[in-house]
Amino acid sequence: MAMTQSEEDEAAEEESAPSTAFVALVRLAFPTAVLLLAVLYVENTYGRIGTDNLYYPYFIVAMIFLFVISVYVSEIKHLYNHGAEDEFIESLKKSYSEWKRSIGFVIAGAAYLSMINVLGFFISSFLGMIVIMLIGGLRDPKMIVGGTITTLVLVYVLFITIMGMNPPEGMLI
């Protein structure tokens, strides 16, 4: 049964818009992270590397700064015209339910990268691959362990045995 235009309009009105604060948080998170990384780069290089070697990187940082300022101005104009209906917490809950798998991948990736220096490449990769497969929805233990071991054996043969590369070692191994 096809909906009439008025029924479609009513259905669209029932689906509420996220809160302005939530929209601001989401839309400004990436430019803020980029700006933070640029500032950290300047902090880590200023005085440690010769100024002659920093003209181009600092030019890029300046361009990033101008880009982020233009994004902020554009987003603030957009937010000013945003009509919010949901509360912030409700908007957060809706987005979390839509993005929880992606958020899990990011958290698992960050945990994996931080574990490499402690546990070593192979143990961290073994645990990280299992977690990634679980987050991705795979539940068959034989498939998870088999796929992980097969991948790590291939990595060992190709990169360590054939190419002679050394994987990162951790404090424990």
Domain membership of residue 16 as a residue range: 1-86
Q: Is residue 22 part of a domain?
A: yes
Q: Same domain, yes or no, for 55 and 136?
A: no
Same domain, 116 and 172: yes
Residues whose CB falls within 8 Å of the CB of residue 63, separated by 6 or more in sequence, listed in order? none
Identify the domain boundary among 86, 112, 129: 86
Report the predicted TM-score, pTM, of the whole model to 2 decimal places: 0.56
Query: Which burial class, exposed, middle or buried, applies to 38 when counting CB atoms under 10 A from its CB (0-12, 13-18, 19+)?
Result: buried
Shared domain for 142 and 102, answered yes or no, is: yes
Task: Let me know if residue 91 belongs to a domain.
Answer: no
Q: What is the pLDDT of residue 100?
A: 86
Burial class (CB in 10 A: 0-12, 13-18, 19+), 22: buried
Number of domains comprising the chain: 2
pLDDT of residue 9: 54
Query: CA 124, CA 167: separation in Å to the nearest integer?
Result: 11
Distance CA(112)–CA(120), nearest Å, equals: 10
Task: Please give the Cα distance from 27 to 69 (Å, whole number).
Answer: 13
**pLDDT of 143:** 96
Q: Are residues 77 and 117 in the same domain?
A: no
Tell which wins on pLDDT, 27 or 15. Answer: 27
Q: What is the pLDDT of residue 2?
A: 56
Residue ending a domain, among 38, 65, 86, is 86
159 within domain boundaries: yes
CA-to-CA distance for 115 and 124, rounded, in angstroms? 6
Q: What is the pLDDT of residue 136?
A: 93
